[in-house]
Amino acid sequence: MAKRGGFPGGAMPGNMNNLMKQAQKMQRQMEEATKALEEKEYEASAGGGVVTVKVSGKKEILSVHLEEEVVDKDDIEMLEDLIVAAVNEALRAQEEDSQAQMSKITGNMGGMGGFPF
């Protein structure tokens, strides 16, 4: 008859310590990666380069550059669309980079809270 409860051979507490150490290491790595990502800049353009937007890793717009030929007072809507497209593309690039960096740290672990159980 098997015993209920307890840790046979005392294995579980050691495994729990290892798990905690791994979690702490992963947390430090994620904090370092987050800081590095926040310091990066991402640039995207639209309309063949007539609108260029630069965003930070904190998802803040740093600059917008417009080529003179895209500024047409009779077609403000097109300029607005190009700015939105460039901003969205720069933010997509930032998000993809962020996801890739975090996946390297977590090893693409699934499950609850990133742990495979």
**pLDDT tens digits, one per residue of 67-82:** 999 999 999 999 999 9
Q: Tell me how far apart the alpha carbons of residues 16 and 23 are, in angstroms, rounded to a whole number.
A: 10
- CA–centroid distance for 82 within its chain: 24
pLDDT at 117: 45
Q: Which residues contact 94 (CB under 8 A, 6 or more apart)?
A: 37, 40, 42, 55, 56, 57, 59
Cβ atoms < 10 Å from Cβ of 83: 19
pLDDT band at 106 (very low <50, low <70, confident <90, very high): confident
Q: Which residues contact 112 (CB under 8 A, 6 or more apart)?
A: none
CB 38 within 8 A of CB 97: no
